[in-house]
Amino acid sequence: MKGLLLRLSAVDADAEAAVRVIAYFDALVERGATPVELVRATAALAECPAGMDRTGTEPLVFRPDGSSAGEVVVTGSVEIGPDAGRVWLARDGGAGPLDDLVLERLAISARLLAVPQRRTPAPDLADPGLVELVLAEREAPEDRARALRLLGLDTEVPVRALAVAADGDPGAAAVALVTRGRPVRAARVAVIGGRAAMLLQPHESAATVVADLRVAFEARARERATAPAVRVGVGRPVPGLEARTSWMQAKLALRFATADDAIIDHAELGSLALLGELPPEQLRAQPDVAALDALPATDVAALEAFCRTGSLRKAAALLHLHHSSVADRLARVEHELGWRLDEPGDRFRARFALLARRLASGPVRGTRA
């Protein structure tokens, strides 16, 4: 966890703070903190009064210095569980940016520590050995099930796997994206073969994952213009014991991700996913791909812009060129490859060849991981 926090500090300060909150409460659960210790520690962390109201017991209310507090104005609360009470914060001036996360982790910690047989260490975001076991090819179902339980993942709730590639640390980039979006029930990460593998269980529907990631990605891009490039592939929702299937789908989807389309959902690929199943060497040997490789890079860029926008003038705007320059480059492409780009069939062939070329130059598929 310390290593992950150090890497996160270079990626996203907000994400680093969120992971520190999670690690703080994980440590309290691991040492079996009492309710009094939980509330006192929360008040110290949040730097405002914190409290816990439980059924059948006196309320616990503490200030940041550890002393008992009297009457306060509650600014945010979370239920511990059905008929189990609630936890809350009382901050002057309204809620702080991490108050929701603090309350959520306090409520989770209170639930974990309330029942003796559930007093097991709460897993943190970086638990790579167990994540790798869940995603491994030949592990027995009972071993996968035990790993899922140790990771704090509910075997009755669908999981989705993410495959994340980044210019910097992929594990830190994955955590930064997830902690910026809507809170999830659980998120566990490991770095496998140079890519981050993350298992997610959303609080709500698994269908929200891709939309939430795209919102978080856009916010990250607006706030950090020089942020390292990140690409994400998202697998389909599956039962926990089938997490490897979602992981393989996520890795395949990652091959389709680009700087302009950085988050790819396997479910949105449709029949294009079949192209991603082909070995890169087979794609490189395809005649249209080989012909594109023989063209000048500027001509290929013009073709890509034209296929993406469907318009000569829009392609020129995208490339910051005069439309006549783009027209000249496209004319050379047509001459060299024998295509007529005003014909729907040839445009489809060009788009297909460009996609195959990109997949052929991307990371080679893993056969085991």
**Cβ-based neighbour number of residue 287 at 10 Å:** 9
Query: 317: which DSSP letter?
Result: H
Q: What is the pLDDT of residue 3?
A: 46
Dist. CA 114–CA 10, nearest whole Å: 37
Dist. CA 255–CA 233, nearest whole Å: 8
Q: What is the pLDDT of residue 265?
A: 93
Query: What does the pLDDT profile of the chain (369 residues) look like in tens digits?
Result: 444 444 444 444 555 677 778 878 887 887 788 889 899 999 888 888 999 998 778 889 998 888 888 778 888 888 887 778 889 898 887 777 778 888 888 988 888 877 554 334 444 444 678 888 889 888 888 888 888 888 878 777 889 999 999 887 787 777 777 766 555 567 788 888 888 898 988 766 667 788 888 887 777 666 655 556 888 999 999 998 999 999 999 999 998 888 778 889 999 998 888 888 888 888 888 898 989 989 999 999 999 899 888 888 998 998 898 989 999 999 999 998 999 988 889 989 998 898 888 888 755 443 345
**Under 8 Å between Cβ of 232 and 162:** yes
Q: What's the predicted TM-score (pTM) here?
A: 0.60
In terms of C-beta density within 10 A (0-12 exposed, 13-18 middle, 19 or more buried), how is residue 233 classed?
Answer: buried
Domains of the chain and CATH, by start: 33-118 (no CATH), 128-275 (3.30.70), 280-361 (1.10.10.2840)
**Under 8 Å between Cβ of 100 and 89:** no
Those residues with Cβ within 8 angstroms of residue 366's Cβ, 6 or more apart along the chain or in another chain: 193, 251
Those residues with Cβ within 8 angstroms of residue 97's Cβ, 6 or more apart along the chain or in another chain: 14
Q: For residue 145, give the nearest of 159, 156, 134 by alpha carbon.
A: 134
Q: Is 69 helix (H, G, I), strand (E, B) or coil?
A: coil
**Under 8 Å between Cβ of 302 and 326:** yes
Q: Is 39 helix (H, G, I), strand (E, B) or coil?
A: helix
Q: What is the pLDDT of residue 15?
A: 59
Beta strands in the chain (DSSP E): 50-53, 60-62, 76-81, 85-89, 160-166, 184-192, 195-202, 230-234, 263-265
- Tokens 């945010």 -> residue: 76
Q: What is the pLDDT of residue 203?
A: 64
Q: Is 34 helix (H, G, I), strand (E, B) or coil?
A: coil
**Under 8 Å between Cβ of 144 and 241:** yes
